[in-house]
Amino acid sequence: MKKIFLLFFVLATGLAIHAQPDTSHVQVTTFNVNDATEHWLNTLSGAARAKSDAYFEGGYWLILWNTLYAVFVGAIFLLGGLSKRMKAIVDRVKNVNIQNLLYALLYFILSWILLFPLSIYQGYYREHQYNLSNLTLGGWFKEEMIGLSVGVILGSILLTLVYFAMRKAGNKWWMWAAGICIVFITFIVFVAPVFLSPMFNDYKPLAEGPLKQQILSMARANSIPAENVYQFDASKQSDRVSANVSGFGSTTRISLNDNLLKRCTPAEIRSVMGHEMGHYVMNHVYKGLFEMSVLLVVLFAFINFVFNLITRRYGDRLGVKEISDIGSLPLLAVLFSLASFVFTPVTNTMTRTQETEADMFGLNAAREPDAEAHVDMMLSEYRKIDPGYWEEIFFYDHPSGRNRVHMAMQWKAEHLNEIK
Ligand SMILES: [Zn+2]
C-alpha cells in the first residue's frame, strides 16, 4: 500500500507547472482544473481503489448494524429482565444517588460485554482484514480497557448528575440533561489533550530541525502560539497520516502523528499543518461545541417526546415508568442511538463543513496545492474517493478525496503565476 503511494508521488511530480517569471500578466491557459483533478484521482486505481471503496462503504452498513445492535442490547436489559435484577441489587443501598451511580457502573460494564462481539469485529478484525491496523489483539484489548475504564468513571458521574437533575426538573428534564451534557463535553474537550490522549499515545514536542522551524514560522504567520506543536506515535495503531487540533484555552495544541513525519515530504506536512492551523484560527473547537450544544437540546427534546409516547403504552411491559427512575436508562440509551442514527447526516455535515473551511485555509497558508492533493490521495486509503452527491452529505465527516483534490487544483489554477 505504502509503495503505491510512493508511485503516486513520482507520477504527481509530472503535474508541477512552473510559471515563467516574466509572464505574470498573461492568463495561463495550459492548466485544466478538471484534467488535473482526474489525473490525481487516477493515481488510485484497480485493487487499491476497490479496497478503499469496500472498506468505506462497509462503514455505511456498520452505522446501521451498530444502531440495531444497540436496540438489541437495550432489549436484553429491558425485556430480558437484566435491568430489573440490577435495580434489585442497587436498591440495597439507601441513598438514591449512590443507587444511580452503581446502576450506571453496572450498565456500562454489562453493555461493553454485550457489545463486545461487534466491537472486536469492527475495531480489530475488520481493520486487519483491510490492512489498516498495526495493533496486536493484546494492544487493541488494552486500548479497549483504557477506554472502558475512563468511560465507566466519567459516564457514571455524568449519569448520576443527569438523574439528579431529572428528579428536580420534572417535565423540563431534557433541558437540564442537555445543559449538563454540554458542560460535561466542554470539560472533556478541555482536559482531553492533557489527560486522555496521552493514555493512548506518547506525546512529545515536535523534534528540533528545519521542519519544526517551517511549522513554527507558519504558526507565527497565522498568530498561533508556536510552542503548542506536538508529535505522537500513531504508528502503533495504524499507518494513517493525521494531525489534529485539540483542547481550548490553555490546553489548545496542534499535534501531528509520526506517520505524517515518516510518509510525507516537508511540503506535504506544511499543507497538513496549514489545514490544522485553519481549525485553530477559525475557532472550530468553539464553533463545534456550540453546534453540538444546539444539537443536544434538539436531541433530548426529541428523546423526551418519544420516551413519553412509548412509556404511556408499553411502560409496564418494559418496566419503565418514571424517567427520573434509573431503570429508564436502557430505554433512553436505545432512543439516543436511534436519534444519533437519524442525525448522522447533520453531524457529518457539521464536521465536513469545518473540514472544507480548514482545507481552504490550509491551501492559502501553505500554498502547496500538489502536496495537498497528494495527502488527499493518501487519506483515500480508507475513505472512498469519489462518492455521489447525497452519499457525501450522508456519510462523510470530511470532504471526499475528489472534492479536496478539486479544491486544491482550483486553487492552483488561480495561482499559477505566483506559486513556485
Ligand atoms: Zn481537519
Per-residue model confidence as pLDDT tens digits over 192-212: 888 999 999 999 998 888 888
Q: 82 alpha carbon to ligand 1 midpoint, in Å?
A: 42
- List of E strands, 169-273: 203-205, 229-232, 243-246, 253-257
Find out whether 224 and 280 touch, Cβ atoms under 8 Å: yes
Q: 287 alpha carbon to ligand 1 midpoint, in Å?
A: 14
Q: 155 alpha carbon to ligand 1 midpoint, in Å?
A: 27
Q: Could you give the CA distance from residue 18 to residue 12 in angstroms, rounded to a whole number?
A: 14
Q: 247 alpha carbon to ligand 1 midpoint, in Å?
A: 14
pLDDT at 262: 92
What ranges in 228-343 are assigned the alpha helix state H? 258-263, 266-281, 284-318, 329-342
Q: Could you give the CA distance from residue 131 to residue 52 in angstroms, rounded to a whole number?
A: 11
pLDDT at 254: 82
Say which residues have a Cβ less than 8 Å from residue 39's Cβ, sequence separation at least 6.
15
Grid look-up 447525497 returns: 390
How many C-beta atoms lie closer than 10 Å to residue 293's C-beta? 17
Q: Could you give the CA distance from residue 222 to residue 225 in angstroms, rounded to a whole number?
A: 9
Q: 270 alpha carbon to ligand 1 midpoint, in Å?
A: 14
Q: What is the distance, to the nearest Å, from the Cα of residue 131 to the centroid of all Cα atoms in its chain?
A: 20
Q: 257 alpha carbon to ligand 1 midpoint, in Å?
A: 13
Q: 275 alpha carbon to ligand 1 midpoint, in Å?
A: 6
Q: 173 alpha carbon to ligand 1 midpoint, in Å?
A: 35
pLDDT beyond 60 at 231:
yes
Which three cell numbers, joined as nine digits, stand for 300? Answer: 433530548
Q: 360 alpha carbon to ligand 1 midpoint, in Å?
A: 11
Q: 245 alpha carbon to ligand 1 midpoint, in Å?
A: 8
Q: 51 alpha carbon to ligand 1 midpoint, in Å?
A: 24
pTM of the model: 0.85
Query: What length is written for the chain?
Result: 420
pLDDT beyond 50 at 243:
yes
**Predicted confidence (pLDDT) per residue in 134-193, tens digit:** 999 999 999 999 999 999 999 999 999 999 999 998 888 999 999 999 999 999 988 888
**Predicted confidence (pLDDT) per residue in 25-55, tens digit:** 445 457 999 999 999 999 998 999 999 999 9
pLDDT beyond 80 at 264:
yes
Q: 30 alpha carbon to ligand 1 midpoint, in Å?
A: 32
Find out whether 70 and 79 touch, Cβ atoms under 8 Å: no
Highest-scoring range by mean pLDDT, 210-224, 318-332, 344-358 = 344-358
Q: 269 alpha carbon to ligand 1 midpoint, in Å?
A: 13
Instruction: Give percent above pLDDT 90 in the chain.
Output: 74
Residue closest to 301 by CA, chosen among 341, 250, 335, 327: 335
